[in-house]
Amino acid sequence: MFRILFCGLYLLSCACVAQQATLYKHATLLVPEQNKRLEDAFFVVENGRFTAVGQGEIPAHFAALATVVDLKQHYVTAGMIDTHAHMTLGAVTFEVIDESVSLRANQSLAIGRWNGQRLLAHGVTAVREPGGDTTTTLAYRDAQQSGGLVGPRARVAGSILNTDAFTGLVEAVDDAQALRAAIDAQATQGVDFIKLYTGLSETQLAAGVAQAKLHNLPVIAHLEDLSWQRGAELGVEHLVHAMPVSPALLPELQRKEYLEQRKPTTIHWAQWYAAVDFDAAEMTKLYATLAKQNVAVDPTLIVFYNTFFGNSAAVTEHAALDLAHPEVLENWRSFYHFTIGWEKEDFALAATTWPKVLELVKRLHTEGVRLSVGTDLGNPWVIPGESYHQELQLLVAAGLTPMEVLQLATVNGAAVLGLSDQLGRIATGYQADFVVYQQDPSVAIENSRTITAVYQDGAQVRRPELTVDTQ
């Protein structure tokens, strides 16, 4: 059992002033995109960027620097990136008006601060915020950039665009014209992505993608009945969640049976997995399309693990749940979770089909589809910081090597954010975001938890002491 004890003030900070050059020496640098470990490596950081990286003998002018940090017997990666973090999402509530249910999501910069501190403490130095209240997601991004908020740097989407309203999270659009107007407004406000959702028709999705392209904004899409295949063909660049549960991706017989038996609750995710054939023509065509068009997929395995095993105390009584904001945790316990309406046999089906979820992620990776590491932070039982490391372990459970998972967490994450020339590598000219470990996460992914220091823009962040009890 893990016991996490936070000592002292739970505040982190990054220096926002010019930094003198600092030499870091005797490190083992992990270079996942090359499947390499560079032993006895050194690097120099100045004014928030890496200015030199090398191995072996240190040039005299670097060795003479006044500030030197010895990282002997430690391992270093670039800062990790969560490509699916709803940073400011708070409690979800509902009210019934004229027999209609109205959903509302609280969005709070205070919750963004809380989550940001905890993500940084666990080595996450950058995030993609994949949709929320436009004003609040932009406020988080801009406050972090200006130094008014301590947390991962962010690239953000605005309000999710869908046909059904969800106050604080979704902007309802009735037709293609309204969708285009909403995209224009978000572009004017300065978002980095456009997020399109499951209720949109094929015509609306096509209109949304086309409008976003006019503003040079990449599209994130959460699709279910409208297939990933069709979304990719229409120009969607980013697909989220390892739940491509469209009937169109099933062979004809299985499609017919699935549609006849599909339940109205989220257990239909598991029903789809029970029906799918990963070697069927529909799926093999999908892999090829995603790989050819370089569509990025963000599996967010942990949020679905928490759903499929939502009747387990290992999820609902996890020892690290106190890392979640109190408002959010109480909301999960009292109302908001993804297994509303599930019965005993539903959980049994979910447990039975879970290995196929992992199998799909492995298959996507094998087929050359770009994957990244995202958690769906803000949604039920996803713990800020802790769940990122759970996600890493689930990706290894799916069959990826630890080194491959580290590439997803760094290099691939930077590509998904559109920041491949700035983040994700320890290389000259890149932002000096990096994580130091006591043990090597490239040989055992659970060693990603052995963090001894986190740096953002070259400044070490103050982080709570983490005490781990494995008894």
With CA atoms as reference, report the closest residue to 305 among 224, 412, 386.
Answer: 386
Cross-strand bridge partners of residue 172: 162
Look at residue 98 in the predicted model and tell me its pLDDT: 75
Question: Mean pLDDT across the stretch 99-125?
Answer: 93
Mean pLDDT over the full length of the chain: 93
Of all residues in the chain, what percent carry a pLDDT higher than 90? 91
Burial class (CB in 10 A: 0-12, 13-18, 19+), 142: middle
With CA atoms as reference, report the closest residue to 306 among 258, 375, 370, 369.
Answer: 375
Cα 440 to Cα 36: distance, rounded to the nearest angstrom: 12
Query: Does residue 467 carry a pLDDT above 70?
Result: no
Do 78 and 417 form a contact (C-beta atoms < 8 A)? no
Query: Does residue 17 carry a pLDDT above 60?
Result: no
Question: Mean pLDDT across the stretch 201-217?
Answer: 98
> What residue type is 11 in one-letter code?
L
Cα 234 to Cα 210: distance, rounded to the nearest angstrom: 9
The CB-based long-range contact list for 231-237 (8 Å cut-off, 24+ gap) reads 231/205, 232/286, 232/289, 232/290, 232/293, 232/295, 233/289, 234/202, 234/205, 234/206, 234/209, 235/206, 235/209, 235/210, 236/196, 236/205, 236/209, 236/295, 237/294, 237/295, 237/296
Question: Mean pLDDT across the stretch 169-178?
Answer: 95
Overall residue count recorded for the chain in this entry: 471
Look at residue 230 in the predicted model and tell me its pLDDT: 98
The pLDDT-based confidence of 96 (bands split at 50, 70, 90) is confident
Give all domains of the chain, ordered by start, each with its CATH number.
Answer: 22-79+424-460 (2.30.40.10), 81-417 (3.20.20.140)
Look at residue 371 in the predicted model and tell me its pLDDT: 98
Look at residue 9 in the predicted model and tell me its pLDDT: 28
Cβ-based neighbours of 60, under 8 Å, separated by 6 or more: none
Q: What torsion do the CA atoms of 385, 388, 389, 393 make, to the nearest 10 degrees? A: 160
Query: Does residue 465 carry a pLDDT above 90?
Result: no
> Two tokens at 291?
């790989």
Q: How many other C-beta atoms are found inside a 10 Å radius of the C-beta of residue 289?
A: 17
Cα 339 to Cα 304: distance, rounded to the nearest angstrom: 10
16 or 376: which leads in pLDDT: 376
3-state helix, strand, coil in the chain (%, to 5): 40, 20, 40
99-113, 134-148, 310-324, 392-406: the lowest-pLDDT one: 99-113
End-to-end Cα separation, the chain, in angstroms: 6
Look at residue 1 in the predicted model and tell me its pLDDT: 30
Look at residue 237 in the predicted model and tell me its pLDDT: 98
Cα 290 to Cα 284: distance, rounded to the nearest angstrom: 10
Cα 167 to Cα 95: distance, rounded to the nearest angstrom: 11
Query: Does residue 320 carry a pLDDT above 60?
Result: yes
> What residue type is 50 in one-letter code?
F
365-416 pLDDT tens trace: 999 999 999 999 999 999 999 999 999 999 999 999 999 999 999 999 999 9
The pLDDT-based confidence of 464 (bands split at 50, 70, 90) is low
Say what the pTM is. Answer: 0.94
Query: Does residue 15 carry a pLDDT above 80?
Result: no
Look at residue 65 in the predicted model and tell me its pLDDT: 96
23-80 pLDDT tens trace: 999 999 999 999 999 999 999 999 999 999 999 999 999 999 999 999 999 999 999 9
* Interior angle at CA 333, CA 327 and CA 339, nearest 5: 125
Do 177 and 185 form a contact (C-beta atoms < 8 A)? no
Question: Mean pLDDT across the stretch 208-216?
Answer: 98
Look at residue 14 in the predicted model and tell me its pLDDT: 42
Look at residue 95 in the predicted model and tell me its pLDDT: 81
Question: Mean pLDDT across the stretch 350-360?
Answer: 98
Cα 341 to Cα 269: distance, rounded to the nearest angstrom: 14
Residue 138 Cα distances to 59, 129, 154, 193, 237, angstroms: 43, 10, 9, 11, 21
